[in-house]
Copies of this chain bind each other. A is one copy, B any other.
Amino acid sequence: MTPSAKATHTLPRRVSIREVGLRDGLQSISAVMPTAHKLQWIRQAYDAGQREIEVGSFVPARLLPQLADTAELVAFAKTLPGLVASVLVPNLKGAERAIESGAHHMLVPLSASHAHSLANLRKTPDEVVAEIGRIRAARDASGSTIGIEVGMSTAFGCTLQGRVEPAEVLRLLQAVLDAGADRVGLADTVGYADPAMVQHLFEAAFTVAGDKLACGHFHDTRGMGVANVYAALQTGISRFDACLAGIGGCPHAPGASGNVASEDLAYMFASMGIETGIDFDKLMALRGQVAGWLEGETLHGTLWRAGLPKTMRLAPAAAPALA
Binds B, one of A55-63, A68-76, A89-97, A224-232: A224-232
* A222-B309 in contact (CB<8A): yes
* B227-A306 in contact (CB<8A): no
* A306-B7 in contact (CB<8A): no
Q: Mark A11-40, 1 if CB is under 8 A from B, else 0.
A: 110000000000000000000000000000
Q: How far in angstroms is the closest Cβ of chain B from A237? A: 7
* A235-B7 in contact (CB<8A): yes
Within A279-316, the residues touching B (CB, 8 Å) are 301-303, 305-307, 309-311, 314
In the bound complex, how far is the Cα of B10 from the Cα of A232, in angstroms?
Answer: 17
In the bound complex, how far is the Cα of B246 from the Cα of A223, in angstroms?
Answer: 12
* A311-B9 in contact (CB<8A): no
Q: Which residues of B contact A163 (CB under 8 A)?
A: 311, 314
Copies in the complex: 2
Q: Chain A interface residue count: which class?
A: 35 or more
Binds B, one of A122-130, A141-149, A263-271: A263-271
Report the nearest B residue to A219, measured CB to CB.
Answer: B306
In the bound complex, how far is the Cα of B6 from the Cα of A234, in angstroms?
Answer: 8
Q: How far in angstroms is the closest Cβ of chain B from A58? A: 28
* B157-A1 in contact (CB<8A): no
Name A311's contact: one of B5, B162, B301, B310 (CB within 8 Å): B162
Q: Mark A35-68, 1 if CB is under 8 A from B, else 0.
A: 0000000000000000000000000000000000
Q: Which residues of B contact A83 (CB under 8 A)?
A: none
Q: Mark A229-262, 1 if CB is under 8 A from B, else 0.
A: 1110011111100000000000000010100010
Interface centre among A11, A190, A268 (most CB of B within 10 A): A268
* B157-A214 in contact (CB<8A): no
Could you jot down 11 A-B contacts, CB within 8 Å?
A3-B235, A5-B10, A7-B9, A159-B310, A163-B314, A195-B227, A220-B302, A221-B306, A222-B306, A227-B230, A255-B307
Task: Please name 5 further chain A to chain B contacts, defined as beta carbons within 8 Å, in addition to the given A1-B238, A163-B311, A196-B273, sorted by A numbering.
Answer: A1-B239, A4-B9, A194-B272, A221-B302, A226-B226
Interface residues of A (CB under 8 A from B): 1-12, 157-159, 162-163, 190-192, 194-197, 199, 203, 206, 210-211, 214, 220-224, 226-227, 229-231, 234-239, 255, 257, 261, 264, 267-268, 271-273, 301-303, 305-307, 309-311, 314
